[in-house]
Each structure stands twice: as structure tokens, then as C-alpha cells.
Amino acid sequence: TESIINHDEL
Amino acid sequence: NIFRAAGDLSHLISILILLNTIQKSRSIAGISLKTQILYVLVFLTRYLDLTYRYVSIYNTLMKLFFISSSIYIVYLMIYKFKNTETEQIDTFPIEYLIGGSFILSLIFNYKFQFGEILWSFSLWLESVAILPQLFMLQRTGEARTLTTHYIFALGAYRTLYIPNWIFRWISEGRVDYLAIFTGIVQTIIYSDFFYIYYHRVLKGFKFELP
């Protein structure tokens, strides 16, 4: 499942 | 971008300062175990997404580093350099922070889904995780310079993320409201500390609360 915001930060 | 890189670097440095301080002085005096336990929770709930979400090798390595180093620090504090004196002044009721963050994560998330709730929980919890440490500083009234450098570097990480979010909003149109709001809360919690740090530590005075 894709999240609405792409969590690409730390 | 430069803000995010500087933020991550500062996050990394904060952990290295803490580890170095503990190893060299062979003591955990003045360091809040409760704050460190909260960080284990923060990193586990936010970064376990590395098992199902791949971003980049950099992202994965950093996540692994933060999870393992935070667990290692708690291990050192509990088993290797146990300090009952410090524990006695480490009395902040963290169950409220955990409970409050959990409730907020149920209300505010991008999707009512396990992974998203965990992510939101970690953001809320991180924003307040330093409170037991600041509370301890307030009780003792002073701290070792290295401990203040550690707290400063840790606070700088999320503060530097704020211009990063503005930059990404302008350049990519990307806005992560949850991260931004909790990041601002976290920076406000640190603001008093930043002020004293700037006025005393950077000018070569001992860290003493007025």
C-alpha cells in the first residue's frame, strides 16, 4: 500500500 | 538539499557525542535514561518501515544506525554504567508522553493504517522526547558541557529540517503537515535551551540555569 505522503526523511 | 543534509549530520553527531561522552567518562551522570528509552521507541516505530519501504541506501543505513545506537545507549545505561543517583532525579512521568502521543497519532495521521499510525506516533513522541532530559537539567541546575553539546546537536536536527521543509515545499510542492507541525513543537520545546546554550556554553561559561 502506498502512503499519501512519501516518507523519505529521517 | 543543504538543510536536510546538515540536519541529518547534526543528528548523527549528537549520537556520536553521547556515545563518546559515555565511553570516555565511563559514566552516564546527568543523562536521562527516560529520554533515551523514548528515542528507542521513536526510532523503532518510525524506522521499522525499512523492512517494507525502500528509499535509498543512505536512508536505510541511517535508520539502522539510529535504531542500533539508541538500543546500545540504553544497554550501556542500564547494564554497564548504571547510575542510581542520576536515576533518582530522572522522574519525568513519560507514560503521559507515550499515551498522549498515541492518542494524537490516532487522531492525526495520513491514513488510519498501522504503518501510518506508527509513523505519526513517532513524530509526536519525538517532539517531546527531550522533556525528561530538560527536566533533569532543570533539577540539577547545571550540566557537563558535552551533555549540552549533545542536546544542542539533537535539537538542531529537527530545527534544520524546518527550512528543509520550506525548501521542499517550494521546489517539489511537497508538504508533510504532520512532520512540520511536530517539528515546530519540538523546536519550541528546545528554544529555551538554545537560548541558554548560546549565551553561556558558546561564550565559554559553564552551563548553569539562571
- pLDDT one-digit tens code per residue, B30-54: 999 999 999 999 999 999 999 999 9
Q: Tell me whether residues A3 and B62 touch, CB distance under 8 A.
A: no
Kindly state the cell numbers that stand for B174. 511537497
The overall average pLDDT reported for chain B is 95
* pLDDT for res A3: 55
Share of chain B above pLDDT 90, in %: 90
User: Which candidate in A6, A8, A9 is best for mutational testing of the B interface (most B CBs within 10 A)?
Assistant: A9
What span, in angstroms and rounded, lies between the C-alpha atoms of A4 and B7? 24
Given a cut of 50, whether residue B71 has pLDDT beyond it is: yes
Ramachandran class of B155: left when φ > 0, alpha when ψ lies in -120 to 50, beta otherwise: alpha
| pLDDT, position B201 | 82
pLDDT recorded at residue B4 = 97
Q: Residue B78: which pLDDT band, with cuts at 50, 70 and 90? A: very high
Confidence band, pLDDT 50/70/90 cuts, at residue B210? confident
Report yes or no: B33 and B74 within 8 Å, Cβ to Cβ. yes
* Torsion sign over Cα B116, B117, B119, B123: positive
Contacts of A8 in chain B (CB under 8 A): 55-56, 59
Q: Determine contact, residues B28/B22, Cβ cutoff 8 Å.
A: yes
Q: Per-residue pLDDT averaged across B15-35, rounded?
A: 96
B5 and chain A in contact, CB less than 8 A: no
- Residue B209, pLDDT > 90, answer no
Partner-chain contact A7 B119, CB within 8 Å = yes
Distance CA B53, CA B2 (A): 24
pLDDT of residue A1: 42
- Average pLDDT (B124-139) is 96
Is B205 a residue whose pLDDT tops 90? no
Give tens-digit pLDDT for B147-187.
Answer: 999 999 999 999 999 999 999 999 999 999 999 999 999 99
Residue A5: list chain B partners with CB under 8 A. Answer: 110, 174, 176, 178
* Cβ-contact B153, B13 below 8 angstroms: yes
- Look at residue B181 in the predicted model and tell me its pLDDT: 97
